Structure 1
């Protein structure tokens, strides 16, 4: 007959405790990241297949253009699911704020691996030929997180990450911690986060546009994408928009033969009405800023083409509009990073 004391031993209890907290054990974080890398590893052939699938899905769902199927794969979210074990809880018995960053690492790794890995090898070789030495690496620049609702011990939640936009240096990613929908209840936003990544080859900064194009996600830029900004980009009085707004719209970008990043694009007729609405908002913000002598505050987001009926295929122009819309959402946060550096310098 088994002795109860031999079953309920310290060794057995330790094993049960370890299994219940497997996610928080030493080296577990590393295994989780490598798992996400492996399962989201992409090749150019796989990227091309996903773009074809997206094109077919968009055609099939043309009556519902705002659906996820009609969003370009660059902006589509990647989700992971997890639970918060006992070792991740604080003295209030809910998920500790420090542990959110480990989940963000895992979620962003899945997204960035999917988007950038396909072009890494060829991109590194091209950069080497251009004289840029050193290791090609993806570096996290900063993270901002807001907590909205508590996560209880062992509660199941989703971490959903997607690209918001990018500029000449930073790839901006939005992440959301979500309590999944249940019968009779909608999903609940538990926390939200903004992160920015930079790609480096040694000390050389590689633009996100170049990285995404090398991976095969972006369509070719128009031949005249390096042209001067369109006339509609200036105010009705002929005065250029304030530099902060022009910089947001990339109307003052410099020429880059490698990529069209930061270059004003000609606006096709199909989106002329949308562009006019965007310019009107920016001009209003510029006038308000001029009268108040303050930094312009764009309280309304740029009109997202993803929510327009008959908005057309995801060509270069439409991707640019969505990229700029995402950047505008993160504009105040990106400016805050600069302000904090200045505050530090002041002592």
Structure 2
């Protein structure tokens, strides 16, 4: 930032010096200084390209269109919880008066990251549903007019470290969990290049950036990845047909992203008994407003359900196989965190009327 300001000050100072003006006019013509300022304005626009009006729409639409229509490979069930990486940088326009990335600008970059990820996640499922693949759905769902679609229901962002001007970063986005109504997406904004993936599922031609030395140390303790995090965001999406809400697992199944469903297992919230004949445990039961019950209750339910899943005997012999039990364990683990996020719905009840401190305009 200081370097850019210094260069600008030097150019402005030299432009007033007679000798510099004479040299510039000799080699660049009489309108040299007009060209210089035009080039400077163009350079400034290129540095802040993603902030040009309308460019956010291009970034989001590009992500959606590419993932739905041009992504050459497909995601497998065992990669359901694998993150997708998108990269960007902090422009000068994104900086606030503290000379680092403004909190409001995080959400625009997160929109682009989730556009890529959600487009890839549901492209097959929504397409099949809209083509009429409604086998197993209720009669009311089939008769409801309208197309199947996905909509953003809430988003939050927790800031950890500041992002400096012109600093590059990456956004790791993946599924956290889902319940009967919402699918929860978690995004981590991290320092660019700090995390080295083992492989790229949708881009098999890309090679891992991990060094051979790091791959050799299998007994070394796992790296603390949180030290690379700038911010973390949680968002939730809902699938709809008209005004009717569709269980997220229906879409994930039609996207071929879930393992084979065991017999007798329904959609969330599930009521399943352990193999030892224990009382069925219902996990993720929504409250009246369609959201999860209290975090404490969910944590207890999930703990019991995880024990139940661990006792099941239908696990595949091959430990490398991704089974329904594996998926359910990961879903339930994320459900505990999602239940706390979901409780923020109660904040709507905190709106107060009556005495206020004042009313002020945006500009005057």
Q: Give the drift of 1:126.
A: 4.0
Residues 43 and 117 of structure 1 are in contact (CA less than 8 Å); yes or no, is this contact kept in structure 2? no
1:272 to 303, 311, 321: 311
Which residue in the other structure is 1:298 paired with? Answer: none
Q: Please give the per-residue CA displacement for 1:164-210, whole angstroms capped at 9, x wherever unaligned.
A: 00001101011111013569x97611001111001111101111100
CA distance in 1, matches of 2:319, 2:294: 28
Which residue in the other structure is 2:129 paired with? Answer: 123
1:150 to 162, 169, 173: 162
Q: Give the drift of 1:150.
A: 0.7
1:222 to 262, 265, 273: 262
Residues 165 and 326 of structure 1 are in contact (CA less than 8 Å); yes or no, is this contact kept in structure 2? yes
Residue pairs, 1:1-347, within 5 angstroms: 1-3=27-29, 4-9=32-37, 11-41=38-68, 46-47=73-74, 50-51=75-76, 72-124=78-130, 125-126=132-133, 130-181=142-193, 188-226=228-266, 228-230=272-274, 231-232=277-278, 244=294, 248=298, 271-272=310-311, 313-337=321-345, 339-344=346-351
Q: Give the drift of 1:251.
A: 7.1
SS of 1:75 mapped into structure 2: coil
The 3 A distance-change label for structure 1 pair 171 and 228 is closer
313-322 vs 155-164, which deviates more?
A: 313-322
Residues 132 and 204 of structure 1 are in contact (CA less than 8 Å); yes or no, is this contact kept in structure 2? yes
CA distance in 2, matches of 1:44, 1:31: 17
SS of 2:68 mapped into structure 1: coil
Q: Give the drift of 1:37.
A: 1.7
Q: Please give the per-residue CA displacement for 1:107-156, whole angstroms capped at 9, x wherever unaligned.
A: 11111011101121221234598112123221111111111111111101
Q: Give the drift of 1:38.
A: 3.0
Over alpha carbons, which structure has the higher Rg? 2
Q: Which consecutive residues of structure 1, in runs of 5 or more, have no partner in the other structure?
A: 55-71, 236-242, 253-263, 275-304
CA distance in 1, matches of 2:280, 2:45: 63
Q: Give the drift of 1:19.
A: 1.0
Q: Give the drift of 1:266.
A: 11
The CA RMSD over aligned residues, in Å, is 3.7
Q: Where is the helix percentage greater, Structure 1 or Structure 2?
A: 1
- Which TM-score applies when normalising by structure 1? 0.68
- Which TM-score applies when normalising by structure 2? 0.65
Q: Give the drift of 1:7.
A: 2.8
Q: Which runs of 4+ in 1 moved over 6 A?
A: 42-45, 249-252
Residues 229 and 251 of structure 1 are in contact (CA less than 8 Å); yes or no, is this contact kept in structure 2? no
SS of 1:328 mapped into structure 2: helix
The 3 A distance-change label for structure 1 pair 341 and 35 is same
SS of 2:143 mapped into structure 1: coil
Which residue in the other structure is 1:59 paired with? Answer: none
Residues 181 and 188 of structure 1 are in contact (CA less than 8 Å); yes or no, is this contact kept in structure 2? no
CA distance in 2, matches of 1:14, 1:322: 50
